Structure 1
Amino acid sequence: MKKYVFFLGIGGIGMSALARWFQANGYEVSGYDKTATPLTEKLTAEGIAIHYEDAVDNIPLEVRQNKAQTLVVLTPAIPKDHQEWAWLREQGYDIQKRSQVLGLLTQGRPTIAVAGTHGKTTTSSMVAHLLHHAGVPCAAFLGGISVNLGSNLLLPSEPIKNEELKIKNSPASSEGLAADSEQPTTNNQQLATNIPVVVEADEYDRSFLTLFPTVAIVTSTDADHLDIYGHKEALVESFRQFVSQIQPGGTLIINHTADPSVAAAAPAGVRVIRYGLSPEEGPELYATDIAAQGHQFHFALHGPQGITDGLVLAVPGYHNVENMLAAACVAQLYGLSPGQLRVAVAAYKGVKRRFEFILTAGTAAAPKVYVDDYAHHPREIEAFLRSVRALYPGRRLRVIFQPHLFSRTRDFAPGFAESLSLADEVVLLDIYPARELPMPGVTSELILSQITAVEKSLQTKAEILRNAETNPDFDVLATVGAGDIDQLVPQLKNILDIRWNGAEA
C-alpha cells in the first residue's frame, strides 16, 4: 500500500491539483520544481515539502528509504537528463505520468472531460462551478485557479464512503515509465464511484487518451502543439481517438467549428450535441440576445432542453458565452433547472488569468481598465481582443504579449501578428522558452515584422514598467501570454493605480 507520493514538477497547475488530492487523502506528499512560484509557495503553506535544486540528496529521506511505498508522479516537462528522475528510474520506483494517475483516479467513475485546444480550463471550471453551486456532489481537477473555489481542486463536501483504488500501469504509458511496477492500493476517501469527476482533458502529449468519459466536451480542434504532433491531421486523429473512448450511452458536446471527423468518431449510442454562438451554422445548442453591458454579457440559451433566458455572465467575452453554453448543457444533463442555472451562471467569477480584471478606474463614459489573460494561441488572442473591443469601443488599447515556445512562434507567427493587430499598440517581450531550446531565426521579431498596428515595439520587462510610468497613452491595457508575463502584473497594477487613482505605492 502506498504511503508516499513524490512529484517531479509539482508546481504545474495540473500536478499541483493531484498533489492536493493525495494530501487530502492522507498521503505524505513532497516534490521538486525548477523555480518557486506563488503556487508552490501555497503548496508549501499547505504542508507539502518542495525543493528547487535537482539533486538526489534533496529527495526526502522517507521517499529514498521506502521504494515499495512510494508513487512518483511525473510531468512531461521534466527533461530526460534530470538527475532525480534518472535515479528514481534506476532504482525501479513506480513512476507514473500525471495523465496516467488522473486516468486511474477517474476509472470507473462518471467523468466529465473537457478537451480542446482553446477554452478547456475555463469551460471545465464552469462545469464544476455550476454543479457545485447547485448542490450536485462532484469533484474536479482543473487546469487553472478557479476564483469561486480559490483552488484548482474541488472535492465533494459531503463525506463519501471509503473504497479502494488501485494505481497501476496505464495502457498509454510512455518511454521512461516503469514497465512492471507494483499495483499499489490507496485508501480513496474523497471519490465514490457515483460522484461525477470534472477533468481538463489535455491534448498535449496525448495525455487525454487515458480518459474514458461519460460526458465529453470538445471546444476546438485548431492546430496546436505541432512540436508533438507534427501536423494538424495527427492532432485531429488524437481527438478522434479521445471521442471514441466515450462510454456507451454517453454524450459528446462539440463545437460546430471542430473538424467534422471528430464528432463522427463517437461510438454508436453516444449522443452528439453541437454548439456555437449563433444558430446560423446549425448547432443544436446556441445563444441569442447576446449583449455586452458593463463587464457582463447577457444572453439566452437555446438547446435540447429548451430555452433558458435571462442568463448573465460576469466574465466577459463572446468566447466565454460560447464556453458557458457547453458547460450549461452539462449542468442540464445533471438536472439543473432554468432557475438554478440563472443563479449559478450569475455567480460564476472565472479563472485566474482568464479575462481577469486587474484594475478599473475612470468613468462609465471614459473607463480606464487593466486586464490580464492567459491567451497564447492566435485564435485565443483574437477572441480575447475582439471581446475587449466590444466592451470598450473607441478606447485606445495597448497589448503587451509574451510569445510562448519557439515552435509555436515559428508555426503561427502570421496568425499571432494578425490577431495582435486588433490593438492600437502592441508591445512584444522575448519568447518564453518553457521546455524548449532556442531555434535559429525564431525570435519575437518574426511576429513583430508582420504586425500592422501603427505602434509596435519589442521591449524588456524593465522597459515596459518604465514606459507605463512615462508613456501612459492608453485607456485599456492588456497583458497576454502563458509564460512568466504574470510577474509583471502586480508592478503594472501598482504603477497604474498611482497614475489613475492617485493611490500610494
Structure 2
Amino acid sequence: MKLDQIHKVYFLGIGGIGMSALARWFKHNGKNVSGYDRTETALTKQLQAEGFDIHFEENLNLIDDKVKEDKERTLVVYTPAIPKNHGEWMWFQLQGYTIMKRSQVLGVITQNMKSVAVAGTHGKTTTTSMIVHLLKSCGIDCTGFLGGISANYNTNMVLNENKDSIAVIEADEFDRSFLTLHPNIAVVTATDADHLDIYGDKSHLEESFRLFVKQIKENGKLFVKNEIAKGVVTDETLDVSLYGFKGEGISAKNFRIEEASFVFDYQNGATNIEGIRLNVPGYHNVENMLAAISVTDLLGGDGEAIKTAVSSYRGVKRRFEYIIKTDALTYIDDYAHHPVEIEALLKSVRDLYPNKKITAIFQPHLFSRTRDFAAEFAESLSLADELIMLDIYPARELPMEGVTSEIILKDVKLEQKQIVAKEALVDTVLASKPEVLLTIGAGDIDKMVQPLKESLL
C-alpha cells in the first residue's frame, strides 16, 4: 500500500487512544478521515470538535458516502477490539476494501522515516512522551504517536512541522503489534509478565521482545533497562546501551528529593548533565527519563536544552497525575494496572509523603489479568495504608467463574480494606478522610476522578 494513493481513511474504533492518534496524523497530512466508535467519550468529542465525522451506531447508512463511492482510494483501519460479527467490519470485507490493523498502518507510515520506537510492558507511554518533549524542546522536529494524552501538548498525536521529521512511536506488545516496526533507535523499558491471554507465559512474551529488537535497522541503536538486557538482547553485533536507576550503564548520579521533585546528574560516559530536576514523581520516571535523555543526546540535543526540557516536562494524563495538591490533601490519579506498576507507584508515594495515610482505590483490569496476578496484586496493594477496591473492569473479556476482586482483597495485608460499588465510592472516600488518595487502574475508574475531586475540594 502506498500512502499517496490513499485519499480517504475510515476508522473502526476511532475513539481508541492509538487509533485517534493515527486519525489525527492522516487528517494533518491531507486525508479525508471519518469513523465509527461504540461509545461517545471526551476524546471522540474532541475529535469531532477538530472536524472528524464520527458516528456511534453500527449502521451502514451512517458511513460517509465518499468512503462508499471510492473503494480503490480508501483505507479502512480497525482495532482488534472490533467484534468479528460487526456489521460495518463485515461489509467492508465483503466489498473488498483495503483493511489493515492499526499496528500495520503505523509500520507503513514510519517505514521510510527515521524512527524511535519505545517498547515495554510498562513505561512506554511516559517514555515516548518524554522523548517527544525533549526533542521538540531541543529544536529537533518529530512526529509523536502516543498511547496517552501528553500534559504538555494536550494530545496523543504531536504533529511534525517538516516531512523529514523523526517518528517517535509507542510500540505496543499487545497482540505482537510492535513486530510491524523497523526502528533506527529502540528503547525497551520492561518485560514483566503481562498479556498472558495472548502469550501464555513470560518466556513467549520475552521472545516477542527479542524479535522486536532484531528488527532494529542496520547501524541502529538499542537502549534497554539494565536488569532485563540478558532476556532481550541476543545479537552481539547490535549497538546496545544499558540504563537504570542502579547498576551498570547510564545512571542517575547524586540523586536526591527536593521539594517533592527528583534531582540528579545524568552520565553516559561522554555526556554529563548536572542538576537535572524532574517534577513528575516516581522512581520509575527517573529511569524513563534516563532513556529519553539518552535518545535525545544521541540525536544531537544540547545538554542545557535537555536540562531545561526535563524541568518543563509535565507528564501524561493518568500517569502520576496530581488532581489535588494542598496541605490538607494530595490526590493522585494513575493508570497502573500491573502489580509491578502499582508497587513502583506506592513506593514513590510513600517516600514523597512518609508521614501521611495513603488510601488507594483500585479497579482491576481484565478477568484474566486478575486471575493470573491475584497474589502479586495483593502484595503490591498492601503497601498502602487503606484499600478500597472496585469490581473488575472487563474490557474485551467475558466474566470468568470465580474471578472477582475478592480473590485479590482476601490476601491484602491491611486491616482497612473493602470492596465497594462505584455508586458508593464518593461517600466511602469522604468517610475515610484521606490524606493521600490514589485512584489506580486502566478501566473506567477515570470517570470517578472528577466526582471525587469535586466532593473533596
What interval of TM-score do these two structures reach, taking the shorter chain for normalisation? over 0.9
Distance 2:433 2:453 in 1: 16
What are the ranges of 5 or more consecutive residues in structure 1 without an aligned counterpart? 161-190, 498-505
In structure 2, how many angstroms separate the alpha carbons of the residues matched to 1:389 and 1:290? 17
Match of 1:172 in 2: none
Counterpart CA distance in 2 for 1:305 and 1:149 is 31
Kept in 2, the 8 Å contact 1:118–1:219? The answer is yes
What is the aligned partner in structure 2 of residue 375 from structure 1?
336
Pairing 1:172-187 to 2, within 5 Å after superposition: none
The CA distance in 2 between the partners of 1:141 and 1:328, in whole Å, is 18
On the 8 A contact 1:305/1:332 being kept in 2, the answer is: no
2: CA distance, partners of 1:261 / 1:419: 24
Match of 2:310 in 1: 345
Which of 106, 122, 138 is equivalent to 1:134?
Answer: 138
User: Contact 1:405–1:432 at 8 Å: present in 2 too?
Assistant: yes
1:489 aligns with 2:449: yes
Say yes or no: does 1:227 pair with 2:207.
no
- Which letter does structure 2 place at the counterpart of 1:299? F
Secondary structure of 2:274's partner? strand
Determine if contact 1:8/1:85 at 8 Å carries over to the other structure. yes
Moved more, 52-61 or 402-411: 52-61
The C-alpha deviation readout for 1:269-320, integer Å capped at 9, x for no partner, is x310111102xx3x21111222222331111112133322100001011000
Alpha-carbon distance in 1 for matches of 2:168, 2:106: 11
Of residues 196, 213, 220, the one that matches 1:250 is 220
Matches of 2:42 and 2:322, distance apart in 1: 19
- Asked if 1:290 is matched to 2:265, the reply is no
Task: Report the counterpart of residue 476 of structure 1 in structure 2.
Answer: 436
Q: 1:241, 1:265 within 8 Å by CA — same for their partners in 2?
A: no
**Cα shift at 1:110:** 1.1
CA distance in 2, matches of 1:415, 1:90: 46
Letter in 1 for 2:399: P
Cα distance between partner residues in 2 of 1:126 and 1:370? 23
Q: Give 1:57 deviation, angstroms.
A: 2.1
Q: Which runs of 4+ in 1 moved over 4 A?
A: none
Separation (CA, whole Å) in 2 of partners of 1:108 and 1:486: 37
Identify the residue that residue 188 of structure 1 maps to in structure 2. none
Query: Structure 1 residue 206 and structure 2 residue 140: aligned?
Result: no
Aligned to 1:306: 271
Q: For residue 55 of structure 1, what is the amino acid of its counterpart?
A: N
1:333 correspondence with 2:294 = no
Shift of 1:90: 1.1
1:257 aligned counterpart, secondary structure? helix
Q: Which residue of 2 aligns with 1:271?
A: 239
Q: Which residue of 1 aligns with 2:115?
A: 111
Counterpart in the other structure of 1:6: 10
Aligned to 1:359: 324
Q: What SS is found at the alignment partner of 2:227?
A: coil
> Mapping of 1:391-406 within 5 angstroms?
391-406=352-367
Q: 5 Å matches for 1:422-461?
A: 422-461=383-422
In 2, the alpha carbon distance for the partners of 1:156 and 1:112 equals 14
Partners in 1 of 2:53 and 2:411 — Cα distance? 46
Distance 1:271 1:352 in 2: 33
Deviation at 1:259, TM superposition (A): 5.3
| Pairwise CA RMSD | 1.2
User: Structure 2 CA distance, aligned partners of 1:97 and 1:432?
Assistant: 24
So what's the TM-score if we normalise by structure 2? 0.97
SS at match of 2:133: helix
Measured after TM superposition, the shift of residue 77 of structure 1 is 1.1
Q: Is the 8 A contact 1:404 1:434 kept in 2?
A: yes
- Determine the C-alpha separation between the residues in 1 that align with 2:303 and 2:108: 34
Secondary structure in structure 1 of the residue aligned to 2:309? helix
Q: Output the amino acid matched with 2:438.
A: A
CA distance in 2, matches of 1:446, 1:8: 35
Deviation at 1:130, TM superposition (A): 0.3
Once the two structures are TM-superposed, the CA of residue 25 in structure 1 deviates from its matched residue by 1.4
Q: Which whole-Å CA distance do the structure 2 matches of 1:400 and 1:290 have between them?
A: 30
